[in-house]
């Protein structure tokens, strides 16, 4: 997920959220990472499958400040293979510590690891190869896994790509459409994995009970909001939105079948090469549920950035990821006509609220901002978009 924040010297008000880049990255953790390279090298060397393949392993590691959820550490490894020095580049995803105000209540890195590996095998999609999993936390204090690092470009979150002066905004309409269509294809191919409930049923573990996967998802969201509110304060907007979601819950036919959903299906979680996907990232929110969850999420994420452009008096990218175009492309790829996306867009809006609440609580925890007096006005940069969704006609 994206994290944005106003600087201290720019006035902001309830109707004027401001997105600013930070020279210094927002603090995610108080973890001491100075021992990571040595400990990680020893652990990999001692691993049964690697002791012969990577003699003399040495590691350099650096924190990537772009992550919102799991801690991300870039790992450069080199060793002598008996003939000449060799090297590899990995990414380590580590579960955050509870005292650092994590975004989610629980982290199942073993689920992420298994889902990435299984989905890659089932689809042939460019999901980074996962290497090793340490699920116990006994080595570095938190569970982690390593995956191959992939080079390429990612649409920026800060400043948002819709604000201009970046590779995607400056691309031709044909290049932008190629990126859009290929990103929708990623989602369509994930949704086509057969028997997703049977193959990925473990993703239901820890979710509240419900008479359907979508009802369980809504119960999880309500639970997540309550724990987020406990850390930063309640939100009248989210309270209203959750009531609306319950009162307007889709019928079984409208919700559709359960598929594997990526969960965080947005272009900011894809590495591109020549406007084509080279790596699909961020699987913390993967679950089993209706395909509309992913499609609406991709559209809504762009709408948030487009909304910010309007508030800033910028044109943005109004022709990009339009709902009609996305629906048509998805239908062409899958033969499936998606249901009404309004309910799922409101759901996405509440998820974004919870993420912003946790990010806000973390910033308060690390002394970066005072505790907000009005959560809705001070933390939700997409507030006007969600309010509009809730008040528009049937």
The Cα–Cα gap between 172 and 167 comes to 10
CB-CB contact of 96 with 88 (8 Å): no
Per DSSP, the three-state class of 23 is: coil
Question: What's 64's DSSP letter?
Answer: E
Give exposure, 252-281, as e/b (b: 16+ Cβ within 10 Å).
eeebbebbbbbbbbbbbbbbbeebebbbbb
Whose CA is closest to 146, among 118, 113, 104? 113
Residue with tokens 């528009």: 392
Q: Which residues are catalytic?
A: 264
The Cα–Cα gap between 236 and 225 comes to 12
The Cα–Cα gap between 360 and 379 comes to 7
């Amino acid at each position: 997920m994206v994290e944005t924040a106003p600087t201290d010297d720019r006035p902001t008000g309830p109707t004027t959220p401001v997105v600013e880049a930070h020279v210094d990255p927002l603090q995610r953790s108080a973890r001491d990472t100075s021992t990571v390279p040595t400990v990680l090298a020893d652990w990999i060397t001692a691993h049964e499958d690697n002791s012969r393949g990577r003699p003399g392993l040495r590691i350099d590691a650096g924190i990537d400040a772009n992550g919102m959820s799991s801690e991300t550490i870039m790992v450069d490894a080199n060793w002598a293979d008996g003939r000449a020095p060799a090297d590899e580049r990995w990414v380590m995803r580590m579960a955050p510590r509870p005292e650092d105000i994590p975004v989610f209540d629980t982290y199942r890195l073993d689920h992420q690891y298994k889902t990435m590996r299984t989905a890659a095998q089932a689809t042939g999609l460019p999901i980074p190869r996962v290497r090793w999993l340490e699920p116990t936390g006994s080595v570095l204090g938190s569970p982690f896994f390593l995956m191959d690092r992939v080079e390429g470009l990612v649409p920026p979150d800060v400043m948002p790509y819709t604000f201009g002066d970046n590779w995607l905004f400056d691309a031709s309409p044909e290049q932008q459409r190629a990126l859009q269509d290929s990103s929708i294809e990623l989602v369509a191919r994930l949704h086509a994995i057969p028997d997703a409930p049977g193959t990925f049923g473990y993703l239901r573990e820890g979710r509240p009970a419900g008479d359907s996967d979508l009802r369980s998802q809504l119960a999880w969201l309500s639970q997540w909001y309550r724990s987020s509110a406990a850390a930063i304060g309640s939100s009248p907007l989210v309270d209203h939105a959750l009531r609306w979601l319950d009162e307007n819950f889709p019928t079984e036919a409208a919700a559709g079948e359960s598929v594997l959903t990526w969960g965080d299906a947005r272009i900011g979680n894809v590495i591109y090469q020549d406007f084509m996907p080279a790596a699909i990232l961020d699987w913390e929110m993967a679950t089993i549920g209706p395909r509309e969850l992913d499609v609406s999420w991709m559209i809504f994420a762009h709408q948030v950035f487009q909304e910010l452009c309007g508030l800033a008096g910028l044109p943005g990218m109004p022709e990009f990821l339009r709902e009609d175009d996305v629906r048509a492309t998805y239908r062409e790829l899958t033969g499936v006509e998606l249901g009404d996306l309004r309910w799922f867009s409101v759901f996405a809006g509440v998820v974004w609220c919870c993420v912003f609440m946790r990010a806000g609580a973390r910033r308060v925890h690390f002394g970066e901002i005072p505790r907000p007096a009005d959560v809705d006005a001070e933390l939700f940069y997409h507030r006007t978009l969600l309010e509009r969704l809730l008040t528009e006609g049937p």
